Structure 1
């Protein structure tokens, strides 16, 4: 079990980080428990090639040790930060989804972590739990995050990082290759295809009520419903897309999941609806 520092530990963080790497615990510095979090450190200890990287927010621990629920979008979309130059870069641009809306801005490394600048987001309304968490996240991004935990990739699990906000919350992110249902395995091959996506999603019924993409194979073909996510697509309502995707067959999918998976290869065109 690994525990993380309260404010009283920040002044002694360098010493605590060494203790964590040697003993796997920061228990001497705190009384709040945070099980299954990565070992502490000030960098990822596993530099990756430059280029885009995607990170999913998987855990939000508040200063009192309690956890905030992290709701997903209508189609199961997680909260994703995409760094155009990778998280190891000194600076770059960042975009993604913050719980309800899409956001864009810039980022840069600091001596102790990362900062976000000029963050702007769309203004779509969502159910209260998603809006409340998004508001808290965007507010936290107005001040720098301190890196208090890191872990290189292990097996199928991507690299992990924990940032501490100015308010004392601990945000745990895991590196992802895409933004679809995590843990799903796919056929290594897949086929490329072009699909046309309507500018608005519609209500549909799966395991429960949800919203689906409308898609077709050509501008003249009838619309069909797509129940799953489109991995890598930051969908903007009011914009129709022509996409090149790779289609995979998912062996033994869960009962509530599709047997077909789409991963975005390229946005061929974007057309704003009139």
Structure 2
């Protein structure tokens, strides 16, 4: 297939499209998302909530360097603090277990079993997700400890009492100096211990950048409210998303006409399509590492942010 994309052509690659749009710089006017069309604007998360997901060479690694190292639990091998910061930034850390100093479960921290509390280290800030509000804090490695600065949070009302309690419980524990133990094995584990003896154990899950390698290309795609049948030799009932590219300028304003509708054969990781809902997505597009299996696409699309969402009448 040629590099360029034509109307009706399955979207296996996006290299023929114009240069990716860069995110709006901090300090630019923040505006509410409006429905599509010329002059539409999207809003980035606030600066304190932004992070570089899964960068294999994150700026945070430099911020996290220390003359000392981190001793792994149960062993004699110490990781330099810079390597610790890189390992932390290369994974999403999801809470598996939370106990107090007496070994009792802290149920309030496990309020969302299907979406456990998640930590992401990067860009000099720790991002906390799967809570009611987005949270973040500056972080650095000091010998065998994680030092956190003041925790910032959005101010959404939490109507679910369990989620409201989750936010409070997180805020009381992710603060100040936390003892840090890191197992850098094939299935990384992170344990944070508070000054009061609470123990939070996280499992590491590779980020998209870690899995696919390299920095992504940032693109914006509008996804139509309805998927369409598309031909696949092994999947006769396959449905494909209808997508077209959207362009934004450096201020977050939509610039120029939207592209032609096309069929996207590849999935968008992290995105669940709801029939009847039109969305605009900010996507990280990766070229998969070689060797790529013969039955797999060379391209991976990962959801970074939902810019716009609108229910459409059938």
Q: Which has the higher strand share?
A: 1
Name the larger-Rg structure. 2
The structure, 1 or 2, with the larger RCO (C-alpha pairs under 8 Å, 6+ apart) is 2
TM-score normalised by L of structure 1: 0.48
TM-score normalised by L of structure 2: 0.43
